Structure 1
Amino acid sequence: MNESLEQEVTHNIRSRSVVPPGDLGTPVQIDLKDNATIAMVQQGLKTFGYNAYASDLMSLRRRLPDVRAAWCREQALVSSRLPPTSIVIVFYNEAWSVLLRTVHSILDRTPDHLIHELVLVDDYSTAAYLKTRLDDYVERFPKVRIVRAPKRLGLIGAKVFGAKTTTTSVITFLDAHVECTEGWLEPLLEVIARNATTIAMPTIDQIDGFTMQLKTDSAPQLVGAYRWDLNFGWWGRAAMKKRYPNPYVPFDTPAMAGGLFAIDRAFFERLGWYDDGFEMYGIENIELSMKSWMCGGRMVIVPCSRVAHIRKQSHPYLDSAGKDVIMKNSLRLAEVWMDEYKQVLYDVYGIPRYFPRYFGSVDGRKAVRAGAGCGSFRDYVRNAFPEMMNPLVPGAFRGEVRNAALSRRYCLTHHWSNHSLSMAVCDKREKQQYWTHNFYHELNNYSRCIEIIASKGYRFVVRRCHRDEKTRTQRWQYVVESGQIKSEIVNQCLAVREGESAITLERCNSSELRQKWLVKFVELDVSIFRYY
């Protein structure tokens, strides 16, 4: 929507409606019976991952309620004693109204002297409206400047690119699709002013990606965490061991979502910024979480700081990636920061070790860790994440899989050309014959898992691992007493077909030698982890 049209729409709305669309965080009402409207809504969802049509109907400076708790509003933070910050926002083909509403919410609800500058980092956007038109728009704001990446850097690289253009002692990162509420910045800066090695994150409220409605909780009840695939998620505070008498004081979190936080520049630099071998988007949040705790710092969520965030239905950084960047970034992190527990992550991906040829050298990142005087991954678990789950399921194994009914010369083999299974002569190459029975109960060979399906009885296929906890079709139990590999959903076991090398499924029978599999169990000290 161009600027003149935006003004016209705003005028028309105000002239006929007491409450503008989305005012005070209310949902935008849309006529979904109109085909033209439906088409525009669908186009926005496809292009941006949210309803840009609804956003365009709202004011760029829409009002939001003060969602802070009364205790937070009563705190007398002397902003003149707080350090000013540079605010860095990376955008890539963001919707015009969403990006500018982010900017206006910052400028309107932040003490001017605390904003040294607001840096908009264009990660090589292709949308024409984000070029000259955006330059012209932000000229009216002396503290806003745009820096443009010379090529597509991805979210991770663009963040570092923008951060290195700043000069303040504190850098604050925000996503390009947020709205800051009253008093959002001061509590973050207060945390860092007290301790420069603490990373401070706001409480993240939600903006509905379809209606643009603001959704908040009266008291923050969540912490950032993850399981052994390093996939970030929100866990309830009640499940954590640390207790806080006051629910509104900053509280420790093992991990961060990644987009919204304030950090001391010198501390970030000592931690090596982000891994420059990471691609595009993903896992940088877990890397920063681990190394902040391991290298003399900590990470907290600040309940008195509230920033609302649109959760996209899709992400342009991942959608445009031509390969599995999450896997690459995860394995780089594991190789550098997880010590002997890195093998757990390799088991999750069904690989025997780190391959520099495919994932890049990490020598430079290991040097960063050594230079920063960091502790061990065990220290991280003890101090920051004692709730982390025991990674070893009963019967966890890795390596070659043999069958008791056949010569030890034969190994379970995944034929990559057609994703079939058979017993073949062991080749010691740790490729098609390398298997892991991992934290997710998979039988995993290089991210391909054996899956049971019901079709005129039961049969198996080998597919990309999906970890669908509802169907559990790729979950298997290794029965240590009998050596059987048994489906977790039906009484079916893997077996060698009698007189052949082919693999089949049979009703489980613990006395049947063809169902007995010989494996090498994982040996790992898991005493620091909690059990299921």
Structure 2
Amino acid sequence: MPRRRTTRKFFSLACYLLLLIIACIVYKNCLLNLKLHSIPPSNNGVRPTNKFNTTKAGELPGDMGHPVIMDLNDTSVQELVQEGLKTFGYNEYASDLISVRRRLPDVRAPWCRAQDNSESSLPLTSIVMVFYNEAWSVLIRSVHSILDRTPAHLIREILLVDDFSTAPYLKTRLDEYFEEYPKVRILRAPRRLGLIAAKVLGAKASSAKFITFLDAHVECTKGWLEPLLREVAANETTIAIPTIDQINPMSMELQTDFAPRVVGAFRWDLNFGWWGRAAMKKRYPNPYVPFDTPAMAGGLFTIERTFFERLGWYDEGFDIYGIENIELSMKSWMCGGRMVIVPCSRVAHVRKRSHPYLDRVNVDVVKRNSMRLAEVWMDEYRQVIFDVYGVPRYFEELFGSVDERKAIRRRAQCGTFRNYIVQSFPEMMNPLVPGAFRGEVRNAALSPNLCLTRFWANSTLSMAPCDGLKQQQSWTHNFYNELNNYSTCIEPRRLTAADHYRAEVARCHRVEKAGSQRWRYLLSSDQIRNERAGQCLAVDSSRSITIEPCNLKSSNQKWLVQFVELDDSIFRYY
């Protein structure tokens, strides 16, 4: 009997211990699950509720990249959605309903999956991610997508660079969240630097030979990093760019049908855009091998550290955000490098509806950055960019000194902008429209000592005594067919129901098709005709500028200008 009682006691104790172990495991998993799905309260104290439908019965919101379908008839949901769009440029409400470790499909092409994906010979990389007041769930999901879908031995560190965020949840709470992740390091800027300078801060603080930049609103998919590292390891002057899929800013749906068919490019305002690969001259029999791109979107790429340093990192004279991607594109090709998009690397990126990074910024940062880039890297073609902004030349007092940037170019022994176009971007369109001109504008009916003048006080135009130093008398007829003076453009203002107009100036809006600010200089008659009004620029007896029905016999419609002289033989025509 004692032996039986002892056996029963031992068995009971073993069962108790087993149940205790199971309970501990369940409890730990519950805590982990709470952590991985947790979000901080909104500023107004309202947490998202499950007012959504899903694409499949029982499916979690956003699982496998599916959209979150919300009840937008609910007023409280509408308010939360609009608050997120205004604050972040995307729907924070929908994002907060999605797991920060949501599953995504493997979107690689079968050819990519079949390739040799051995990792033993690949180098390590530091991943740099700059954030500024990013939504909690989006930032955390970005980091988890890296940790969950990247071989750990390829990551030296994930460096989160806080560009002086003001959101309280991105301070101590963020530090505590990533305490359990030794490869995640948070670097906090001592003041607001702007995206460009914050990236440089992160790059200089990183420790790996290769640096991978990612935006703070991405989700990496399976096998995303290995193809990038393979490219840069094979050629250390290559910049490798993933195929950038889209995450819908409203529904957070993963959208993958667009990205594989495009290449990065830009126009003469230096505004980046995606062009169809079919429009490019260089052909690739296999659409899945890495292919050359003239330009990059800028947020996502891998680069060798010393090559980046030799290129001068980014221009830290740039303000906040914008044009740094075009600068890096030009100088990589001009300074002995290469830039490729890697189809087998797929990273999804939230397509923001607006850029909160530029909120409360009172200066035209894109204009300033464009001027600096043009002056340093575009040689004689820099004047095309000046003309786009209606600026006669580079003003150091407005845009800052670029002496050190020019010295970096000399030390790197970079080639010419002309060669960049001929060899890397032969598809670039001709910047010279018929009758492109710059400088002072005179009228054939009046004294040559009178010039077209803009008056700041009332946005009017008239002929006034010429003074070569006056900003108000410097005009460009540029790539966008504008009559542009320091980013203000001439346009017609209808005065009566009949087609009677006056000329005035307004901020350039660059609405190209049938836009009110599009003008044609008629070489055969020296007239300047507005495309929307169909009438011509003229001067009346009081020297005020008017817009009248075109009349070949009217000398007050004939304008004397200095045409642009530029070798445009390297550019394609429409």
Task: Mark yes or no: TM-score above 0.5.
Answer: yes
1:502 to 541, 544, 549: 544
Do 1:42 and 1:51's aligned partners in 2 also have CA atoms closer than 8 Å?
Answer: yes
- Choose the corresponding residue for 1:465, options 505, 508, 511: 508
Q: Is the 8 A contact 2:244 2:259 kept in 1?
A: no
Aligned equivalent of 2:569? 527
- Which residue of the partner structure matches residue 11 of structure 2? none
1:438 aligns with 2:478: yes
Please, what is the CA RMSD of the aligned residues? 1.9
Letter aligned with residue 555 of structure 2: L
Q: Distance in 1 between matches of 2:491 and 2:534?
A: 14
Q: Is the 8 A contact 1:69 1:219 kept in 2?
A: no
2:327 to 287, 298, 303: 287
> One-letter code of the match for 2:379?
D
Counterpart CA distance in 1 for 2:37 and 2:284 is: 51
Superposed CA deviations along residues 209-233 of structure 1, whole A, max 9, x for unmatched, are: 0000000028711011111000000
Q: Which moved more, 1:91-100 or 1:481-490?
A: 481-490
Q: Distance in 2 between matches of 1:203 and 1:7?
A: 30
Kindly indicate whether residue 530 of structure 2 is the aligned counterpart of residue 491 of structure 1.
no
Q: Structure 2: how far apart are the matches of 1:11 and 1:366?
A: 55
Q: What residue in structure 2 maps to residue 405 of structure 1?
A: 445
Moved more, 401-410 or 427-436: 427-436
In the alignment, does 2:104 pair up with 1:64? yes
Does structure 1 retain, via aligned residues, the 8 Å contact 2:246–2:255? yes
Letter paired with 1:285: N
1:136 aligns with 2:168: no
Give the unaligned 5+ runs of structure 1. Answer: none
TM-score by length of 1: 0.97
Q: Which amino acid aligns with 1:508?
A: C
Pairwise CA distance, 1:33: 1.5
1:368, CA displacement in angstroms?
Answer: 0.3
Give the residue type in structure 2 aligned to 1:345: I
1:430 positional shift: 4.2
Task: Describe how 1:87-486 pairs up with structure 2 within 5 A.
Answer: 87-217=127-257, 220-456=260-496, 457=499, 458-486=501-529
Q: Give the paired residue count.
A: 529
- What residue ranges of structure 2 are gaps of 5+ in the alignment? 1-33, 41-46
Which AA in structure 2 matches 1:88? V
The whole-number CA distance in structure 1 between the counterparts of 2:384 and 2:297 is 22
How far did residue 453 of structure 1 move? 3.6
TM-score between both structures, scaled by the size of structure 2: 0.90
Question: Structure 1 stretch 242-251 or stretch 499-508: which is displaced more?
Answer: 499-508
Shift, 1:491, TM fit: 2.4
Distance 1:479 1:5 in 2: 64
Distance of 2:333 and 2:380 partners within structure 1: 18
Distance, in Å, in 1 between the alignment partners of 2:129 and 2:398 is 31
CA distance in 1: counterparts of 2:76 and 2:395, whole angstroms: 51
Q: Residues 25-56 of structure 1, C-alpha deviation per residue, up to 9 Å, x if partnerless?
A: 00002111211111111111111110000000
2: CA distance between counterparts of 1:219 and 1:421?
A: 47
Distance between the aligned counterparts of 1:259 and 1:219, measured in 2? 15
* % identical equivalent positions: 68
Give the residue type in structure 2 aligned to 1:483.
D
Paired with 1:190 and 1:139, the residues of 2 have a C-alpha distance of 31
Which AA in structure 2 matches 1:6?
S
> How far apart are the structure 2 equivalents of 1:506 and 1:302?
55
SS of 1:205's equivalent in the other structure is: strand
1:35 corresponds to which letter in structure 2? Answer: T
The answer as to whether partners of 1:102 and 1:176 remain within 8 angstroms in 2 is: yes
Q: 2-side partners of 1:11 and 1:442: how far apart?
A: 51
- TM-aligned CA distance change 1:222 to 1:391, over 3 Å: same
Contact 2:243 2:259 in 1 (8 A): no
**Do 1:219 and 1:247's aligned partners in 2 also have CA atoms closer than 8 Å?**
no
Q: Summarize deviations over 1:342-377 as a string: whole Å, max 9, x none.
A: 001000011110000111000000000000010000
Secondary structure at the aligned position of 1:266 is classed as helix
Partners of 1:347 and 1:433 in 2: CA distance: 14
Contact 1:10 1:59 in 2 (8 A): no
What SS does structure 1 have at the residue aligned with 2:479?
Answer: coil
Letter in 1 for 2:310: R
Q: SS at 1:56's partner residue? A: helix
- Tell me by how many angstroms 1:3 deviates: 4.9
1:136-166 deviation digits (Å, cap 9, x = unpaired): 0001111001000000000000000011111
Give the deviation of 1:452 after TM superposition. 2.0
2:81 counterpart letter in structure 1? V
1:180 partner amino acid: C
- Where does residue 69 of structure 2 map in the other structure? 29
1:116-143 Cα shifts (integer Å, max 9, x gaps): 1000000000000000000000011110
Deviation at 1:451, TM superposition (A): 1.1
1:29–1:459 CA distance, 2 compared to 1 (3 A): same
Distance between the aligned counterparts of 1:245 and 1:39, measured in 2? Answer: 50
Which of 19, 38, 43 is residue 6 of structure 1 equivalent to? 38
Distance across 2 between alignment mates of 1:294 and 1:520: 32
Larger radius of gyration: 2
